[in-house]
Amino acid sequence: MKVKVISRSTDEFTRERSQDLQRVFRNFDPNLRTQEKAVEYVRALSAAKLDKIFARPFIGAMDGHIDAVSCMAKNPNHLKGVFSGSMDGDIRLWDLATRRTVCQFPGHQGAVRGLTVSTDGRVLVSCGTDSTVRLWNVPIPSLMASDDSSDNEAKPLAVYVWKNAFWAVDHQWDGDLFATAGAQVDIWNHNRSQPVNSFEWGKDTTISVRFNQGEPNILATSASDRSITIYDLRLSSPARKIIMRTKTNSIAWNPMEPMNFTAANEDCNCYSYDARKLDEARCVHKDHVSAVMDIDYSPTGREFVTGSYDRTVRIFQYNGGHSREIYHTKRMQRVFCVKFSCDASYVISGSDDTNLRLWKAKASEQLGVLLPRERKKHEYLEAVKNRYKHLPEVKRIVRHRHLPKAIYKAASLRRIMTEAERKRDERRRAHSAPGSMPKEALRKRRIIKEVEGGKGRGVWVGEMGKASALSARTEGEASGCCSGFNTSKREGKGCDCGLAGGGQGERLRQRWGWRD
Amino acid sequence: MGVKEANVDRINVIAAAELVKGVSEEEEMKVQKYLRGEAADLGALQDKKLKGQLAVREELYGKSAQAAAKAEKWLMPSEGGYLEVEGIEKTWRIRQEAIAGEVDILSSRKQFDIVLPELGPYTLDLSLSGRYMVAAGRKGHLALVDMKNMDLIKEFQVRETVRDVVFLHNQKLFAAAQKKYVYMYSDNGTELHCLKDLIDVCKNVELIKNGDFQNPEEHGAAARLQFLNKHFLLTSINKLGQLHFQDITTGEMVGNFRTGLGRSDAMEVNPFNNVTAVGHSGGTVSMWKPTSAAPLVKMLCHQGPVTALAFHSNGHLMATAGMERKIKLWDLRKFEVLQTLPGHAKTMNFSQKGLLATATGSYVQILGDFSGSQEYTRYMGHSMAKGYQIRKLLFRPYEDVLAIGHSMGWSSILIPGSGEPNFDTWVANPFETRKQRNEKEVRSLLDKLPPETIMLDPTKIGSVRPTRKKEQPTKQEREAEKEAAVEGAKSTSIKKKTKGRSKSSKVAKKKQEAVAKAKKPFLEQQAKDAEMSQKKRKRNEVENQLPKSLQRFARKVPTT
């Protein structure tokens, strides 16, 4: 006979000294923990409720400008520094940590309409309605930290006067070119008082310009003739443009998927496009109830922030049709500019009420350094919430947002209007010959037409684009020359071989899938 | 010579391969255990995005199951007990004295008899970790014992009948069903609550005196108590067959139901889904949740009264014992009898590893499922001194020990292989410190489940109810509808009009028209259906002409 029974000596299962940690034993047998799903569900529900309780996104307002904030720029080399320009010609550098002005840049006579910082973070470029472009030296961050007097004023490095008022400026991601938008698109060099290149396509004013982060020679602009145009600096003429039903106020390229960009439109929606396939939007982001004024992508490329004329800031998923979050306060007026901070955890908005406002990107996120146990706990709660997000109770709590009355009413009015339009179309379709009124998706409906390359230089082919871009990516990686579109904005370094000529043209053709 | 060596080598290799195969099969079994059911069927999904997400999640589940299986293999500190016999020895002939001689001193101390002849018979309850025991003598003796250190924490006498006793969420609190009310005590013997509601005394004084009045909002003279530790519900059944569920955190009476099936002497909670099962004198077993006044399940298990009930920890197996000398094992997934054994049982209990202990009179029998096909055969037996009447059997969790409450006190015997050898610190910890206990109390209160989560299949929580297809009316129904419409059209009275407009021919024509009008929508529908089915048939024909690999292209309109 052989017998063994369970026998545990206390010494083996308890700590030796009182300073030791308590010993922990695990047994993952499902029979020991019954009703797991019910427990998880209850946890998910309370996590959703806790999220609502801790949702305090507003951190603080930055007061100082004496007129509406018209534009902002973030310093890619310094996390805390943000530049803002206002309608009275004032430019300020803010320290986000202390929420104070660090430095002022006086000089502009009229409104400042565009601000941008060079990739190395040394030079600030501003432009405005006084037809000047000004280059400024950005003060060194260490000085910024020690010196907190707000009357610290800087002198411009250079002032370039030009023929027309400017509406926007953006700096190339890898190089020392920058582009201004106004009566035409001008490409400038830091050292020259006149633009090195100018593009014009139509007579209307260009109102926004944005360089692509992955491919430094590509830029997208929008103009007041309701068009979105894509330019390539290596070609002498614009590459491609689409005309929409309403004006696009701002454009932002997705930093992680450099072929995609999102346009903030006057018709309350944002439209995500694939630059190779402009005949339809990839996604329409609806929720605002008034014109969207500005848009900025998170450095992660997974979400973007928009500011609108309806006095709210919203955060959208890059592929989500509706916003994830809405921010508003009683005092915030029309939002003219928004920026995602470079660590993707804050959002800055500048509005008509002369203030910059600092928000958390995740409303209920715990700030500060987290202990590993705390972090694990947050991760666990996030996971269970995600698992049970479709259950009605959890969904209701997670979805609910308090809206200002005006916005709530405007949204419901818009809903009624779109519904009425849909019904009317349906009835018309029912009473007309079959096939005479085809259904058109919203992604296509808002585009009037697509115009191909300026003077017949390059033709963009949407259908071919995708496949050949994919093949070019693998080829580029193999050759080690262009790290291609799958890289992030800075690490990718774009394609330096771009200016080399013939060989480069071939590569370009392969990458962007265009055909002579 | 060389050939021979090579042969031996090959045999070794084969043996090793078989060993590896066996090991991998065993591991596969373990992984299956941790996977908790089957994976989602991704092939049937149309939505590519969802498919991708689910595939990622399934992969994650597989990985975590594998990690858990590995942890079980390498990181578990203890191994389970066993009893192996050689030759013609039989396990059920091995006596407790023989076992005592073979095991270590620490374990042999777990065999004992406490003789308390005055205040018995005793009923018992064990805390979740198996470390603490509360014993209640019928005549009012309550004792709280630490079974690990074998010391008596507190004993006191309440000087009235105590019918049952149960631990609440930890050993600091327990409830006792006494003569008239249920009382709650702390571990130092302080009476914390008497669970009676405020009765309108003036009105019911006479009834109370006569003992006829039973306020539905109180437990009353409870016969059996149970505690649902995840829901913090104290459950009681009284002699009138009323079932009460009381939330002990808020004091709210969540449910009180008349079972209406007669006296009941057996009540158990299914640990898998926390459904309360009650065995009645009519031979039925009913299962209850606190949120419905009708039982979830009512099954006729025995010809006579049900004397005892027990649930396996996996929730699929129930044992019932009846007065008619039968013990039945039920599969709770199909509600079918798996096995019928002869014998009385006054009390029964399943161990964590699935051994079943039954007791009648002074004899305890342990049954075990060793074939793997849910055939319970005898494993061990133990007879107490003559004349002892066993009242309660309980396996100690995480120990190879069976605690017995009887008319002369309480005893404890060793049953090798009954307990789960490895405890989980976060589930039930026999070595819990005061701080850990306090922490756990707070955690469990935060995770307190609402009573609605008690249901027969708790894995349903969080799943989506499939949408029901809209039912088409049958042919007969459509015919009947048409008939009714025609009848209605016929029976409408036509106004009498002058100037020859009510001539019989005109009237007949009008009626005909009305009938045709009533019939029209039905005929149209019929024609439409016929057309649809014809189209379908045609398409099928086209498809069937094509070879199988090309059939999927048949539906698409060819592009020009």
DSSP A426-444: HHHHHTS-TTSS----HHH
Neighbours of B416 (CB within 10 A): 25
CB pairs under 8 A between A and B: 142
For the cut 50, the answer to whether the pLDDT of residue A508 exceeds it is: no
| Same domain, yes or no: A336 and A466 | no
> Per the domain annotation, does A255 fall within a domain?
yes
| Same domain, yes or no: A117 and A247 | yes
Interface of B with A in 488-517 (CB under 8 A): none
The Cα of B393 is separated from the nearest Cα of chain A by a number of Å equal to: 19
Domains of chain A: total: 2
Report how far apart, in Å, the C-alpha atoms of A188 and of each of A138, A158, A223 are. Answer: 19, 13, 19
CATH no. for residue A351? 2.130.10.10
Q: A474 pLDDT band (50/70/90 cuts)?
A: very low
Q: What domain range is A284 assigned to?
A: 58-361
> Per the domain annotation, does A442 fall within a domain?
no
> Per the domain annotation, does A491 fall within a domain?
yes
Beta-bridge partner residues of A156: A136
The Cα of B405 is separated from the nearest Cα of chain A by a number of Å equal to: 22
Q: Cis before residue A57, ω within 30 degrees of 0? A: no
Residues of B in contact with A29 (CB under 8 A): 33, 72, 420, 424
Question: Which residues make Cβ contacts (< 8 Å) with residue B334, sequence separation at least 6?
Answer: none
> Per the domain annotation, does A23 fall within a domain?
no
> Per the domain annotation, does A419 fall within a domain?
no
The Cα of B150 is separated from the nearest Cα of chain A by a number of Å equal to: 14
Interface of B with A in 219-248 (CB under 8 A): 230
Interface of B with A in 103-132 (CB under 8 A): 103-104, 106-107, 110
| Same domain, yes or no: A299 and A187 | yes
For the cut 70, the answer to whether the pLDDT of residue A482 exceeds it is: no
Q: SS3 for B26?
A: helix
Whether the pTM exceeds 0.90: the reply is no
Q: A114 pLDDT band (50/70/90 cuts)?
A: very high
| Same domain, yes or no: A474 and A351 | no
B286 CB near a chain A CB, below 8 Å? no
Q: How far apart are CA A322 and CA B240, in angstroms?
A: 59
The Cα of A301 is separated from the nearest Cα of chain B by a number of Å equal to: 19
Q: How far apart are CA B299 and CA B286, in angstroms?
A: 6
Q: Write the pLDDT tens digit of every residue in A30-73.
A: 889 889 999 999 999 999 999 999 999 999 999 999 999 999 99
ipTM at complex level: 0.78
Q: Write the pLDDT tens digit of every residue in A188-205.
A: 999 999 999 998 888 889
Mean pLDDT of B34-59: 88
Residue of A nearest to B86 (CA): A1
Query: Of the candidates A330, A361, A392, which is a domain's last residue?
Result: A361
> Per the domain annotation, does A324 fall within a domain?
yes
Residue of A nearest to B272 (CA): A34
Query: Of the candidates A361, A382, A409, which is a domain's last residue?
Result: A361
Q: How far apart are CA A11 and CA A161, in angstroms?
A: 84
Beta-bridge partner residues of A72: A84
Mean pLDDT of B245-271: 91
Query: What is the predicted pLDDT for the residue at B540?
Result: 81
Query: Of the candidates A307, A338, A361, which is a domain's last residue?
Result: A361
Kindly report which listed range (A270-284, A360-374, A440-454) carries the lowest average pLDDT score.
Answer: A440-454
Q: Which residues of A touch B (CB under 8 A)?
A: 1-10, 12-14, 22-43, 46, 387-388, 390-391
Beta-bridge partner residues of A124: A117, A136
Query: What is the predicted pLDDT for the residue at A213?
Result: 92
Q: Does the beta-carbon distance from B102 to A41 stay under 8 Å? A: no
| Same domain, yes or no: A342 and A481 | no
Chain mean pLDDT for chain A: 86
Residues of A in contact with B425 (CB under 8 A): 22-26
> Per the domain annotation, does A377 fall within a domain?
no
**Half-sphere exposure at residue B255, Cβ-oriented, CA atoms within 13 angstroms:** 22
Query: What is the predicted pLDDT for the residue at B214?
Result: 54
Kindly report which listed range (A476-485, B391-400, B470-479, B539-548) carries the lowest average pLDDT score.
Answer: A476-485
- Best of A5, A16, A33 to mutate (most B CBs within 10 Å, chain B): A5
Cα(first)–Cα(last) distance of chain B, in Å? 78
Mean pLDDT of B256-264: 88
| Same domain, yes or no: A348 and A466 | no
For the cut 50, the answer to whether the pLDDT of residue B201 exceeds it is: no
The proportion of chain A whose per-residue pLDDT surpasses 90, expressed as a percent, equals 72
A6, A23, A26 member nearest B399 (Cβ)? A6
> Per the domain annotation, does A50 fall within a domain?
no
Mean pLDDT of B302-314: 94
Mean pLDDT of B440-461: 93
For the cut 50, the answer to whether the pLDDT of residue A477 exceeds it is: no
For the cut 60, the answer to whether the pLDDT of residue B109 exceeds it is: yes
Query: What is the predicted pLDDT for the residue at B556?
Result: 63
Query: What is the predicted pLDDT for the residue at B454?
Result: 95
Query: What is the predicted pLDDT for the residue at B44?
Result: 86
Q: How far apart are CA B517 and CA B535, in angstroms?
A: 28
Angle made by CA atoms A356, A358, A360, in degrees to the nearest 5: 160
Mean pLDDT of B253-276: 91
For the cut 60, the answer to whether the pLDDT of residue B178 exceeds it is: yes
Q: B38 pLDDT band (50/70/90 cuts)?
A: confident
The Cα of B400 is separated from the nearest Cα of chain A by a number of Å equal to: 6
Judge contact between A263 and A270, C-beta under 8 A. yes
Residue of B nearest to A40 (CA): B447
